[in-house]
Structure 1
Amino acid sequence: MTRTPVPAAPPPGRRAVLVSLAGIAVAGCSRHTPQPASRTARQSGTPAPSASRPAPASSSPSPASASSALPHTTPWRPTSAEVQPAAKLRAVQLVEAIGAWAAGRGGAAAARARVAALGLPTGPVGQAGPLLPTADQAALQVVDAQYGGILSRSASVLVVCRQWTRHGGTVRAGGTTLDVRLSASGGAWTVDALHPARPGPAARSLASDVRAALADDRIVLPPAAAADLRSGQVHSSVARAMLALARTYRLEVSVVRSGHPLDVFGTGRPSDHPRGRAFDVWRIDGHAVVDPATPRSLIERFMRDAAAAGSYNVGGPVLLSGGGADQFFSDATHHDHVHVGFRT
């Protein structure tokens, strides 16, 4: 995401945030009882360790499994460190309700019933697309939820998720990223629309840098981001920068090309993401960018190294000095991730 020109309202006080979240959580209780998860798992969306749970770090969906058991998942929940935790909570609750179902509860009608139980409009269910494949049963794990844009009365929350579907005796791993649009009224956030990622088909051949980025286990790519690279529609400058940063860091990418707003949120300026000229990182060396406990020095060093890797436009929660005009920026939208953009 590139710079959002209108500042968001300042974060609410901790007490107000916790009261607001408690009210929303009660109104939108989960339809199942999840396994206990650590605070880190709830913040990051990474499942708590389990012998039966597949590792979520793979950069691409795994092949179909002979086992018919779905993995255990945990609800993703924001913390009070977020700029607008209530907006993220609403977006994630909707995606979790649509993309996971028990045996015999698949299809759009059942998804609308689950969404209605959260007190959310059911209209966006018809826009869920890849989140509602034909399957007997499904499990969904939100990897991360980051801002695509956050203003005082509107927001874009990019919900990055992995999904496992069971059809007969076969389980398939997949997932997508959804640009969830929300609006605020009277202090409450509601979902207005869903825009799922459309990476496109895999290309017959890829540049060597792109192939190397897909194979590098220090570059963690969620399903839609990996599909973006495989589509051949991501510029090699992006892959080269990922590889350069991976020599020093383990970077967990949230968004590359698809599943991102076409324009810089709140403006008519095209974003670098849909043109395949940017990527966002939500976790560095196991530390979430949004987590106040993450060393600022780590984020600052990563941002400077991203600029050294060729980025003309590096945004994050820290405003850095130096560099060319507009090379570094910070705003409310980039409170939870580092944006790395390229001209070509």
Structure 2
Amino acid sequence: MELVRAIGAWPAGERGAARARVGALGLAPSLVDQAGPLRPAGAEAVLEVVVAQYGGILADTASVLVVCRQWVRRDDGAVVAGGTTVDVRLRRARPRWEVTALHPAAPGAPSAAPGEAARRVLAAGPAIELPPAAAADVRSGAVHTSVLEALLELARKHRLGVSVVRSGHPLKVFGTDRPSDHPRGRAVDVWRIDGRAVVDPATPRRLVESLMRAAAAAGSYNVGGPYLLSGGTAGQFFSDDTHRDHVHMGFGT
């Protein structure tokens, strides 16, 4: 997260000092060249990290999805709100893990005619909290209706903090050659339920399990989270280290 802040936030007149800020963290200044939308043009910028979520974790490598909101003051004084999600890749090193690459989200252009489900999700307000990249995914028209309708159904009983929908997620299930459902617009991750972070030990287990079972009832064939649930169809529920901090919902169509 320090790296993302060093690139995506800068005081007046210091946008061009990103390499120096990254180098001061002991990281490769060349990472700035991979930052893309994290470095919009502007006189100054502030950045808020909404959540840092696992995209995958193995013994020696990891993916951390850093979800950001960003406010940029343009040269004319206007402030523009935005943000992105960055897939930060790491490898084990001493004394700490080392960043090897940045993969920012690329949601695509807004659809000229978003579907009804997309419009309802975008208008759901606090019931479905969408960070910038996730909202842009929905506006692009590239998210399957099954995902959107499931979110609307789940939001009838819960406030959902969405972290990742389509862009900003690894293209393949981390550590495998299997395509992920996320880049195909067939999955969504929820990191917070009714204001409680999934990873927080104080969050009631029954709350997380309730959402996981509700996701299965809403049509998800692949529900992951910090707990391995019984029941469902064969392989419908799963749990591993990657999903201890969020609930994953994947859809076949």
The reply to whether TM is greater than 0.5 is yes
User: Which residue is 2:112 aligned to?
Assistant: 204
1-side partners of 2:230 and 2:112: how far apart?
42
In structure 2, what residue type is equivalent to 1:201?
Answer: A
Structure 1 segments of 4+ aligned residues over 6 angstroms from their partners: none
How far is the alpha carbon of 1:121 from its aligned partner?
A: 1.4
Instruction: State the 1:186 CA deviation.
Output: 3.3
For the residues of structure 1 that align with 2:234 and 2:25, how far apart are their CA atoms? 45
Q: Which segments of 5 or more consecutive residues in structure 1 lack a partner in the other structure?
A: 1-91
Q: Deviations over 1:201-224 (max 9, x none)?
A: 001111111111111120000000
SS at match of 1:182: strand
> Of 38, 41, 57, which residue of structure 2 is paired with 1:131?
38
Secondary structure of the residue aligned to 1:185 is coil
The superposition leaves residues 59-102 of structure 1 with CA deviations (integer Å, 9 ceiling, x where unpaired) of: xxxxxxxxxxxxxxxxxxxxxxxxxxxxxxxxx11001100000
Please state if 1:307 is matched with 2:216. yes
Partner residue in 1 for 2:63: 156
Instruction: List alignment gaps of at least 5 residues for structure 2.
Output: none
Instruction: Note if 1:223 corresponds to 2:223.
Output: no
Paired letter, 1:153:
D
Alignment of 1:327 with 2:236, yes or no, is: yes
Say which of 74, 79, 82 aligns to 1:171. 79
How far apart in 2 are the matches of 1:206 and 1:326? Answer: 33
Q: How far off is 1:187 after superposition?
A: 5.2
* CA displacement, residues 170-212 of structure 1 (integer Å, 9 cap, x when unaligned): 1010000000000012352010000000000001111111111
The one of 261, 266, 271 equivalent to 2:170 is: 261
1:154 partner amino acid: T
Q: Relative CO higher for 1 or 2, CA cutoff 8 Å, sep ≥ 6? A: 1
Distance 2:96 2:45 in 1: 29
Give me the TM-score of the superposition, normalised by structure 2.
Answer: 0.98
2:85 aligns to what SS in structure 1? Answer: strand
Separation in 1, partners of 2:248, 2:95: 28
Query: 3-state DSSP class of the match of 1:259?
Result: coil
What TM-score do the two structures reach when normalised by structure 1?
Answer: 0.72
CA deviations 1:205-244 (Å, max 9, x no partner) are 1111111111112000000000000000000000000000
Q: Which has the higher strand share?
A: 2
**Residue matched to 1:286:** 195
The corresponding residue for 1:238 is 147
2:67 alignment partner AA: V
Tell me how far 1:122 sits from its aligned partner.
Answer: 1.5
Report 1:66-145 matches (<5 A): 92-107=1-16, 110-145=17-52
Equivalent residue letter for 2:199: V
Equivalents in 2 of 1:97, 1:170: separation in Å? 22
Letter of the structure 2 residue corresponding to residue 159 of structure 1: V
Considering only aligned residues, what root-mean-square deviation do their CA atoms show, in Å? 0.7
